[in-house]
Structures are given as C-alpha cells and as structure tokens.
Structure 1
Amino acid sequence: MAERTLRGRVAVVGIGETEYYRHGGSPDPEFKLALRAILAACADAGLDPRDIDGFASYSDDRSDASRLAAALGTRQLRAASMQWGGGGGGCCAAVANAAASIVAGLADCVVVFRSLAQGQYGRFGQTTGINTISGEKAYLMAYGVLAPPQRFAMQVRRYMHEHGLRQQALRAIALASYHHAQANPRAVMYGKPLDEAKYDTSRWIAEPFHLYDCCMENDGAAALILVPADRASEFRNRPVYVLGAAVGSGYRAGAVPHNSPFYASANFGTVAPDLYRMAGLGPSDVGVVQSYENFTGGVVMALAEHGFFKPEEANEFLTLENLTAPSGRLPLNTSGGNLAECYMHGFELVLEAVRQVRGTSVNQVQRNDVAMVIGGPMVTPVSNLLLGSEATQ
C-alpha cells in the first residue's frame, strides 16, 4: 500500500487578503470581504477564478461555498469542507482538509479562506445577549466565567504554577509580535509599538493576562490557493509545499467542566508528533513559527509541546532576542500575529508562513525553508501545519 501522506503532494500557489480593520471598521459586508481576499489570491497566482473547483474553511464561516462559486463564476464545484469546532484551532485543519481533497482526486484547485465582519455579526468574545446556554458554558457561566480570557487564564495559571513560568515569558511573546508589526504596514498595530513598561502597566483582563496578552478583534478576510504539486510550475510565484498537517487533541480534551486529565495543556501532546511524523522532520528543522495567540500563555504551552524547549526552560528560551527576525533562535509571529497584525481567526498566520518560505516577508528570517503554523492552543480540536520550499520535499 502506498504511504498515506500529504508531504510534497500539494502546493500553495497564491495568497490574498483584504485590508485588516478594527472590529466594526469594515466598509464591506463579510461575503464581499471573502470575495475580495479570494480574488487577491487568484491575482497573486495568475489564476482565473473560474478554475477554482473547491472551497475549505473553518469555525462556521458564513460565506457559503456554493454562493462563493456562483459569485466567482466557477465552472464546477467539486469539493466543499468545513472544519468542526475549535474556533481558531481549525486554521491549519482547513488547509489539511483542502489538501486531502486534492490528493484524493476530489478537486484540483481549492481555495482555503476565512472571512470576518464582527461589526456586522457581533463579537466572538461577547457574552451579553445570550439567552440559552449548553455544553461547557452551562457549567461556567453560572459562576461568572463568561469570556474566553477567564476560561483560559485558569489553565495558564496552573501551568505557571507547575513549571515555574514567569510573567516575563508571556511578555516576551507580546513584545515580539508588536516588534514585528512595526515593519508590517498591513498590521492594525503598525506604528503603535509596545515596550516592557507599557505592557507591565497595562490593565489586567484576567490574571495572568494583561491587555497585551490578548488577541485583537478584527474585520477582514484572507485566502490561499492549493493545487497538486505537479501543477505548481504553471503559476507566478515560487511554490510552497505542504510537508505535513495534523488535527485533533488528546484523551478527553473536551471534558467539561475544566476536567481534562491534561488540564494545563495546549492540546498538542498527540497532534505535534503526528505532524512531525508525516513531514519526516523535527523541531530543529523549523526555522520560523507562526503560532495562534488567543492568549500568550497558550503559545508557551504550544511551543513546549512541539518540542522547542522543555516547560522548565521556557523562562530562559522566551526572550525578545530569541523570538525576533531575522536571526533569533526561533522567530515567532513575524507579521505581528493575532496580537498585533490582525485577528483573522489565525488564517493570517498561514499566509505569513507562505511569505517566509517564498522569501517575501517584511521580517524575513535567515532559515526559511521550513515554516510551522500552530492553530488554536488550548481549544479542541487544534491543528498544525508545516510548509516548505521545493528543496524540502
């Protein structure tokens, strides 16, 4: 039987995005934002949008595949997939689902996208106006645990207690994201630098999270285009190959209320080994990481669970010098990430990984043949992705 893998079989040939806006700032509705990002990705690839035959997204994106196909004039819709659950944890899973569709022969040209107009439909972090609750919320909201920072703060506080993690490590992640955003005109926080004093004096949201430990809320859209690897040379840009992808979580990760047996975890304990196994790579092969920051504490857990350092080494490893391009030990979130570029539910991280491998990032790293994306620490399911150059296939 042939090996079951995505490694080197699918290529990213186009990326596109809209302008990124503060929450409520988009002049366009969500569906139009999705179309604008997809058309930008087509222009980047030199692709006729009518040649698209598949769509993939996550987190219940409201821009329906059939409606998009009609608006774009695509000749035939052959694949449409939506990743369940996990919020931003699906940003890499959507790419994996699209790649799997291509490898299985279900489609030949798939757009993966995320569109958000929170000004149009309401904020993800909003807790007012909820009349019915079920699942995890039924156990938490009665006790005043209403918003995501409150829920995840408890997991991070446990991790800090168990491993001696200091606030300075969380601060270094925020500072790195803001540092990179200052070279990125696309970033919502471009021209708004962050320093240690500003971080330390910012208000608490839910300890141990200061204001700058928490992701933004934004409007916009981002998209990329996947094709079979043997077609990659047909398009304009240097192709970027999917080397590996993994989706899921460990034993009883979704247990409620706050009752997972691995509570102080980003939920990559089983997912990270699957990723490395498919790609045939390890942590030392990765030159740059784009990690979803719902909150900085989850990034610490996720990086440790991907083997970049042991939990007890986090304070030493996580410094601004180590996390910044071009020559840091592990450059992190080189476009600004969810904290400082845009909260496009993590999909902007995938586009930045593509730019790094292409060599076109505004914060280009020295080791760019292999880029990792980490989706949604502390949610379930989570997902991850390794992208690489032609030399790494």
Structure 2
Amino acid sequence: MSARKADTLGGRAAIVGIGATEFSKDSGRSELKLAVEAVQAALDDAGLTPADVDGLVTFTMDTSPEISVAQACGIGDLTFFSRVHYGGGAACATVQQAALAVATGVAEVVVCYRAFNERSGRRFGSGVQHREPSAEGAALGWSLPFGLLTPASWVAMAAQRYLYAYGLKPEVFGHVAVTDRRHAATNPAAYFHGKPITLAEHAASRWIVEPLRLFDCCQETDGGQAIVVTSVERARDLPRPPAVITAAAQGAGRGQEQMTSFYRDDLTGLPEMGVVARQLWRSGGLTPADIDVAILYDHFTPFVLMQLEEFGFCGRGEAAGFVAEDALPLNTHGGQLGEAYLHGMNGIAEAVRQIRGTSVNQVPGAARTLVTAGTGVPTSGLLLGADG
C-alpha cells in the first residue's frame, strides 16, 4: 500500500461567523424560519451579507433545502451545496465540506446550518416509528424485534458492556452530566441556565433504559445554528478573530451501523471516533496535551467517556475519573445535556467563542479546541485554532 498523502486542508479556511436562534421547547415558527434567522445572525456576526454567500451545507434529515434557505435569505447564485448523512455525526463534517470548497476555490463564503423543531415537531429521541424496506432498515431489523427501538436503548447496550468490562457502576456517568450542567448554569443561552445538578441528583433521576438515567440523556430542542466559513486571508479583513480550521475529519469504523453496531469485536469503544482521532492528530500535528478545550458530542454521557479514551486523553476505562478531576475543560457551553440539542452545531459555535475569548465560561488563553460530532454513527471532528 502506498503512503497516504499529507493533509493540505489545515490552515486554509476559518470560521468567521456564528449565529443562533433562542433554544426552546416550542419555537412557534417553521424550521425554515429558524434556519433563516440563524443564517442571518451568523452573517451579521461575520460582517458579511447574503450577497457574499455562494455555498451552503446542511444535514440530511433536514426539512430546509439549500435552495429554499438561499431564496428566503436573499442569497444569490450558489456554486456549492452539499448535505452530510447520519444525523449528529454530520455536524463537524459540514464545516469540513465548507473548508474543502473554500480551499479548492469552488466557493468563497460557505454557510453551514442546522435548524429543527426537535421538541415541538419530530422528536428524534422517540426512535423508530416506521421504516420502509431499505438497507438501513434491514440492519435495524436485527435489533428492533428485541425492543431496541430508541437511541437510548441502542446506546444502553454499549454502556452496559462498558460498565461490566471495567467493573464500574452507572453512577460514573454522572461526572459528565454534572460537568455539563455546571457550565449550562452560567450560560444565559442554555435551556438549563441557573440549574446545576449534583451527583446525588443524577443518581436519583429515573431510569430511561438501564444503565442510562434521565440525566444521562440529552434534551430535545427547537432552534437553529449557523456557521460561516471562508478563507483565512479573507477572514483577516473581517471584524471577528477567525477560528482557523487546523484539521477536519470524518470516520466510519469496520462493521459500522447507525447506532446498532453490536456485532463488532468490542462494544467498549467507539471505533468511528478512533478513525477521526487518528486523522485529526496526524493532519493537525497535535496531541491531546495541546488541547485547551474539548467540546465532545454528548447525546448520552457514556459516549463522552469513550471519546476521551479514543482520543488518548486517558486510558481505557479511566475517563470517569479524568472528568471528575476536571483534567480538561469540557463542554463549556453546557453541551447538549445543558445548553441545547442542535446535533452538535452549537458545540462548534462554543469552540469558536473559546478561540475568540468570548465564552461565558472562558478558559484563559484558549488557543486550540477539539470538537466532535455524533457518536455511535459515522461521525466527524474538528481542530480549531487561533490565527497565528
């Protein structure tokens, strides 16, 4: 096998604008309206106008097509538009797509967006309601008859194995929940602003699917978030300090399924995130010791622990203690457990704020951030850094 060519994407594009709607349980408006509000807010933040935009990227499972958003925002011709699959696993990959377009000259200003009424409308957490015959449906068919119908039930299988393998109790997951809610408590944009929890409250919360309790599961949110990407050169002429895209990666592991990869050799890790981690460290030229803040996808607490281990921040089975010791600033916006569940896009925005120095829970001198997307599914990740 020939040697893989070196990554040449890093340092060629930057995030220059972030914008969001309020995060609520009932937005009272359409998902298209939410998308438009978020895109306009991100462009205002970047000091750009709709006329500057020539690219749009979003997720599949999204009801607001790129051309609809372009028309509603007053954006003109598009030279690039793209969608990324696998739910929350797409978050960082939307930025990767934007960076690739900018770096190759396909587009100059690309906006990534995600907007949904995930609480008042279709609730992803409710699981499988109806499945048409398909390859994806066939894979789920091995799990659904046994009652594994929801994301929580799918994650619970891996979580139970993780606890058994390392001789742990479900209470260890509480360290992630408490950390997230502590940060959300001081974040005015967070749904759980002013509402921290204790380990005892986590342990007393009701079971959802053992070993997952209520506070191990992310909330469901109505809202929108948008991210603006352009070249580093253009970014330097804009009002906000750029968050340079140091590295970007996607990953799917061997035997990968959508959250039901139960036939792998080992259920105690996240191989898809291992694929992402190896790419990010290699192409970004960094190590875990270089990271100032980590924004890790937290739809369920056990998978935060597994991510820390996949990225090499600690040994296997040691992540709960790592989080308990506050060894690394984690999910400083409150995460999806505390701020909002926007399929990881709000986490990217927080990583940008840390680089800018404007987070409500600012880490002094933060210059390098790690962001991850959805776990249990094919996924993605980013390393963002300060310019220069």
Q: TM-score range by the shorter chain?
A: over 0.9
- Name 1:135's counterpart in structure 2: 138
Rounded to whole Å, the distance in 2 between the matches of 1:17 and 1:10 is 21
1:235-314, aligned counterparts within 5 Å? 235-254=238-257, 258-266=262-270, 267-314=272-319
Distance verdict in 2 for CA 1:241–1:206, change over 3 Å: same
Q: Deviations over 1:113-133 (max 9, x none)?
A: 111113564111224742646
Q: Does the CA contact (< 8 Å) of 2:128 and 2:150 recur in 1?
A: no
Rounded to whole Å, the distance in 1 between the matches of 2:166 and 2:382 is 27
List alignment gaps of at least 5 residues for structure 2. Answer: none
Residue identity opposite 2:193 in structure 1: Y
Shift of 1:2: 8.9
Distance verdict in 2 for CA 1:43–1:151, change over 3 Å: same
Name the stretch that deviates more: 235-244 or 69-78. 69-78
Shift of 1:53: 0.5
- Name 2:124's counterpart in structure 1: 124
Rounded to whole Å, the distance in 2 between the matches of 1:361 and 1:32 is 26
Across the aligned residues of Structure 1 and Structure 2, the Cα RMSD in angstroms comes to 1.8
Rounded to whole Å, the distance in 2 between the matches of 1:103 and 1:49 is 20
Rounded to whole Å, the distance in 2 between the matches of 1:261 and 1:54 is 41
State the 4+ residue runs in structure 1 displaced beyond 4 angstroms: none
Residue identity opposite 1:236 in structure 2: P
Rounded to whole Å, the distance in 2 between the matches of 1:353 and 1:382 is 18
Rounded to whole Å, the distance in 2 between the matches of 1:7 and 1:300 is 27
Shift of 1:191: 2.0
1:84-233, aligned counterparts within 5 Å? 84-85=85-86, 87-119=87-119, 121-127=121-127, 129-130=129-130, 132=132, 134-233=137-236
- Name 2:375's counterpart in structure 1: 377
Residue identity opposite 2:110 in structure 1: V
Q: Does the CA contact (< 8 Å) of 2:243 and 2:352 recur in 1?
A: yes
List alignment gaps of at least 5 residues for structure 1. Answer: 323-328
Q: Does the CA contact (< 8 Å) of 1:29 and 1:120 recur in 2?
A: no
SS in 2 for 1:139: coil
1:25-40, aligned counterparts within 5 Å? 25-40=26-41
Name the stretch that deviates more: 366-375 or 216-225. 366-375
Rounded to whole Å, the distance in 1 between the matches of 2:233 and 2:127 is 48
Q: Deviations over 1:135-177 (max 9, x none)?
A: 3321222111111111111111112222234434310100000
Q: Deviations over 1:8-48 (max 9, x none)?
A: 100111100000012xx011110000000000011111111
Name the stretch that deviates more: 6-15 or 353-362. 6-15
TM-score between both structures, scaled by the size of structure 1 = 0.92
TM-score between both structures, scaled by the size of structure 2 = 0.94
Residue identity opposite 1:93 in structure 2: A
Q: Does the CA contact (< 8 Å) of 1:61 and 1:114 recur in 2?
A: yes
Residue identity opposite 2:218 in structure 1: C
Q: Deviations over 1:28-80 (max 9, x none)?
A: 11000000000001111111112110011124322111111112222320100
Q: Deviations over 1:285-339 (max 9, x none)?
A: 00111111111000100110001000132243120x51xxxxxx20111001110
Rounded to whole Å, the distance in 2 between the matches of 1:3 and 1:303 is 25
Distance verdict in 2 for CA 1:93–1:128, change over 3 Å: closer
Shift of 1:236: 0.8
Match of residue 350, structure 1, among 342, 348, 354: 348
Residue identity opposite 1:65 in structure 2: E
Shift of 1:209: 0.9
Q: Does the CA contact (< 8 Å) of 1:252 and 1:261 recur in 2?
A: no
Distance verdict in 2 for CA 1:35–1:315, change over 3 Å: closer
Rounded to whole Å, the distance in 1 between the matches of 2:148 and 2:257 is 17
Rounded to whole Å, the distance in 1 between the matches of 2:38 and 2:142 is 39
1:32-51, aligned counterparts within 5 Å? 32-51=33-52
Rounded to whole Å, the distance in 2 between the matches of 1:246 and 1:225 is 18
Residue identity opposite 2:339 in structure 1: E
Rounded to whole Å, the distance in 1 between the matches of 2:178 and 2:55 is 38
Q: Deviations over 1:197-253 (max 9, x none)?
A: 211111011111110000111100000100011111221101110000110122222
Residue identity opposite 2:305 in structure 1: V
Rounded to whole Å, the distance in 1 between the matches of 2:7 and 2:323 is 36
Residue identity opposite 1:252 in structure 2: G
Q: Does the CA contact (< 8 Å) of 1:30 and 1:120 recur in 2?
A: no
- Name 1:326's counterpart in structure 2: none
Q: Deviations over 1:336-374 (max 9, x none)?
A: 111010001111000000000100000001341000111
Rounded to whole Å, the distance in 2 between the matches of 1:199 and 1:2 is 47
Shift of 1:258: 1.8
Rounded to whole Å, the distance in 2 between the matches of 1:318 and 1:199 is 15
Distance verdict in 2 for CA 1:274–1:152, change over 3 Å: same
Rounded to whole Å, the distance in 1 between the matches of 2:304 and 2:199 is 19
